[in-house]
Structure 1
Amino acid sequence: MAIQKQAWEHKLSNHLQLGGIETAVLDNGPGRGTRIAWINTGAGLRYKVVIDRAMDIADAFFNQHSLAWISHGGVTAPQRLTDKGLDWLQTFGGGLMTTCGLTHVGGPESDEYGERGLHGPISNTPAEIISIIQPDPVNGQMEMSITGIIQQVQVLGPQLVLKRTISGTLGKAGIRVHDEVINRGNTTAPHMLLYHFNFGWPLVDEGADICWEGDWRSRAGNPDHIFRQDNNYKKCMAPQDSHAGGGEEAAIIDVAAGADGWCTCGIHNAGLALALSLRFKKQQLPVLTNWQHWGKGEYVMGLEPGTHPPTGQAKARREGTLIMMTPGESRHYELQVDLLHTAAAIEQFKTDLSTSIHH
């Protein structure tokens, strides 16, 4: 097939003039020594993959606009000793995507099956990079990807391995995440997984629309100032004094899916003429959590697709919903993030939402 003539034909010396993947090591502050990869899509979207933290995504920008909430601490080196209690929060950098799991998502708990800290240890685990594929636009190769292996293993215990590929297409403002979780052990292992997407200013701002469809319930323990039927819980709020410290609310959503089985959620900020679409498969990730924390100086809204709500392994076990993976079993997860900045693309995003099927 003939390669379509491009505006840059005969004008490129290096693919990095358009975009690509650049790996580096941070050399200052609490992230010192942490490996990262900057990925530039060549279409206004660029983002930082933190290789030493399960290949989670930290900073993300579309043109001049920041998309992600970054915590006060930002990127820190992984600290496996923070797997107890609420210590996870000490190294939680926020960022566009933080992985929670692989055997527990939710608050700290302890039972006859062991002690589990907030959201599990996977985000505090470095990856072994096994592949980086750069784009080669001169030869018509516009795809690029980075693949790594992250191990949550314990001698004489569960051996779960996460194989993660983050990929994209040069010239398209999108991110694809493909995860495979494999039980490499010789015993059955519990499995829970949640993708903690954290959106911040200016994408998240007063009046921006929080987009999702589905039946929902307020998370247990909420004050229900936001998530109640007579309130518009799908509009981003101004900073709230009531959200100082641990103030927050969350809704657990039985997210609606399209006829193709894909769920669509995201944010539309009309003031920026920008929408972010987050898509995932209902069969793989049936539950969506919407976290709203409008603290002053800690202003963040989360959309969190997961195998379960973030209510812990013990509850999932009691309710019979805990996934038990047999030796050699694997499970696949796919997510797609797209930045939409034309009226037609934003309209299509809204159409996809409104035509979702409620289960």
Structure 2
Amino acid sequence: MLVNRDNPARSNMLAHMGSLQQAAYTRPIEYQEGRSHGLRGIEVKNGPLRFMSMADRALDIAQIEYRGENLTFLSKPGLNGRNQFDTNGAEAQRSIMGGLFFTCGFENICAPYVTPEGSKYPAGSYPMHGRIRTTPAEHVGSDAYWNEDGQYVLEVSGEMREAELFGENMVLRRRISSVYGTSTITVEDEVTNESFREEPLMWMYHCNFGWPLLDEGAEVVIPSRKATPRDETTAADATPWNEIGAPVDNKPESVYLHDLAADANGRSFAAVVNRRLGLGVVIEFDAADFPYFMEWKSMGSGDYVVGLEPSNSSVHGRGWHERRGDLHTIAPQATERKVVTFAVIEGDAAIDALVARRDALLAA
């Protein structure tokens, strides 16, 4: 790739640093103890932004910090590599880590599912949130380089294969990138059905925000035209879906299905903001790629988290779609692509602008 040598930003960085790794790098790592022993990851530092992409778990981003503040939720089991809980029904809850996002799919999302007798689909047993999130990456790469536009790019890439003898053969190719001087992470994914039969393709990004970003007084900012409770427990929750209170012992989770507004270009977003902390995280995406959007709000002590979940399928799960006859599928040899961007925003002005954007979408 040709690089523009007349690059003031590059010259300025080189003048101020012995090594650019003072400010930005990608660095392969391996954890050495507990449940995470042997877990491979890639640490990415971009100025005040730092995150971990887990090579042994679909390159999902399990940890992210900004100016030293944690932004996401880490569940009670903590970081962990592949284990016996990964693909065993509801015991997936013993291996779900949380993080900025974990990828759900592709044969199933949400509750565990067993194909009923008489289904037109092959018999199968599918764990909670599917298998792709626990699939180790192959052809893993990481790099830090100047591109032809004069930007210093931090990049992680690899591919994951969800496959079974006589069954599916789905390949996820993923590229995660961040440009130095920005507080943005872009995830570019493509899934190819390398089998010779039509396959279900349920695809959700489970994005999880935790303390200290999530704290009493924080707010969920979504251009939601309508919020539908998933169940009676959620309907009985008197707290508005967008308000965050203090943790409550043993409080049950609430889950909402949102109808999102989008702009003239089809773009929509979801965010958690905390004015006291002066920070927020915004998820950007094309609404057409994600006809379903769910909010998981857990205010229980020790399970204190808000999940924002752009998806091509409903939280009601695979069986619900099968009964309706609208299970999303992908043809043999076909490819589908999605791009999701995460941005950290800082300061009251940025939060005010985000709220104004939400209000404008809802007023349009």
Q: TM-score range by the shorter chain?
A: over 0.9
| Structure 2 partner of 1:328 | 333
3-state secondary structure, aligned to 1:241:
coil
Give distance in 2, aligned partners of 1:330 and 1:83.
25
| Structure 1 partner of 2:284 | 279
Give distance in 2, aligned partners of 1:336 and 1:223.
29
| Structure 1 partner of 2:52 | 48
Is the contact between residue 15 and residue 135 of structure 1 (CA under 8 Å) also seen in structure 2? no
Paired residues for 1:1-359 under 5 Å: 2-5=6-9, 7-42=12-47, 44-79=48-83, 82-110=86-114, 111-112=116-117, 113-136=123-146, 140-214=150-224, 215-226=226-237, 231-243=239-251, 247-356=252-361
Give distance in 1, aligned partners of 2:229 and 2:333.
37
Task: Indicate how the Cα distance of structure 1 residues 296 and 343 shifts in structure 2: closer, same or farther if over 3 A, else same.
Answer: closer
3-state secondary structure, aligned to 1:266:
strand
Give distance in 1, aligned partners of 2:96 and 2:171.
21
3-state secondary structure, aligned to 1:192:
coil
Q: Tell me how far 1:271 sits from its aligned partner.
A: 0.3
**Alignment deviations for residues 10-50 of structure 1 (CA, whole Å, 9 cap, x no partner):** 233322111121111111111111100111111x1111111
Q: Tell me how far 1:82 sits from its aligned partner.
A: 3.1
Give distance in 2, aligned partners of 1:322 and 1:203.
35
Q: Tell me how far 1:221 sits from its aligned partner.
A: 4.5
Is the contact between residue 95 and residue 198 of structure 1 (CA under 8 Å) also seen in structure 2? yes
Q: Tell me how far 1:267 sits from its aligned partner.
A: 1.1
3-state secondary structure, aligned to 2:15:
coil
Give, as a single letter, the amino acid of the residue that structure 2 aligns with 1:95: G
Give, as a single letter, the amino acid of the residue that structure 2 aligns with 1:261: G
Q: Tell me how far 1:7 sits from its aligned partner.
A: 4.0
Is the contact between residue 30 and residue 75 of structure 1 (CA under 8 Å) also seen in structure 2? yes
Q: Tell me how far 1:347 sits from its aligned partner.
A: 2.7
Q: Tell me how far 1:315 sits from its aligned partner.
A: 1.0
The Cα RMSD (Å) is 2.1
3-state secondary structure, aligned to 2:354:
helix
Is the contact between residue 258 and residue 352 of structure 1 (CA under 8 Å) also seen in structure 2? no
Of stretches 75-84 and 233-242 in structure 1, the one that deviates more from structure 2 is 75-84
Of stretches 337-346 and 57-66 in structure 1, the one that deviates more from structure 2 is 337-346
Task: Indicate how the Cα distance of structure 1 residues 169 and 222 shifts in structure 2: closer, same or farther if over 3 A, else same.
Answer: same
Give distance in 1, aligned partners of 2:222 and 2:193.
32
Give distance in 1, aligned partners of 2:35 and 2:233.
33
Of stretches 198-207 and 318-327 in structure 1, the one that deviates more from structure 2 is 318-327
3-state secondary structure, aligned to 1:94:
coil
Give distance in 2, aligned partners of 1:159 and 1:356.
40
Give, as a single letter, the amino acid of the residue that structure 2 aligns with 1:233: W
Give distance in 2, aligned partners of 1:157 and 1:334.
27
Task: Indicate how the Cα distance of structure 1 residues 183 and 357 shifts in structure 2: closer, same or farther if over 3 A, else same.
Answer: farther
**Alignment deviations for residues 302-355 of structure 1 (CA, whole Å, 9 cap, x no partner):** 111111122221211222321111111111111111111134332322222222
Give distance in 2, aligned partners of 1:279 and 1:305.
10
Give distance in 2, aligned partners of 1:235 and 1:223.
14
Unaligned runs of 5+ in 1: none
Q: Tell me how far 1:144 sits from its aligned partner.
A: 1.9
TM-score scaled by length of structure 1: 0.92
Give distance in 2, aligned partners of 1:194 and 1:131.
24
Give, as a single letter, the amino acid of the residue that structure 1 aligns with 2:127: G
**Alignment deviations for residues 80-127 of structure 1 (CA, whole Å, 9 cap, x no partner):** 663122011111111111111012111112124321111111111101
Aligned length: 352
Task: Indicate how the Cα distance of structure 1 residues 222 and 321 shifts in structure 2: closer, same or farther if over 3 A, else same.
Answer: farther
Unaligned runs of 5+ in 2: 118-122
**Alignment deviations for residues 64-85 of structure 1 (CA, whole Å, 9 cap, x no partner):** 2110111121111113663122
Give distance in 1, aligned partners of 2:86 and 2:279.
37
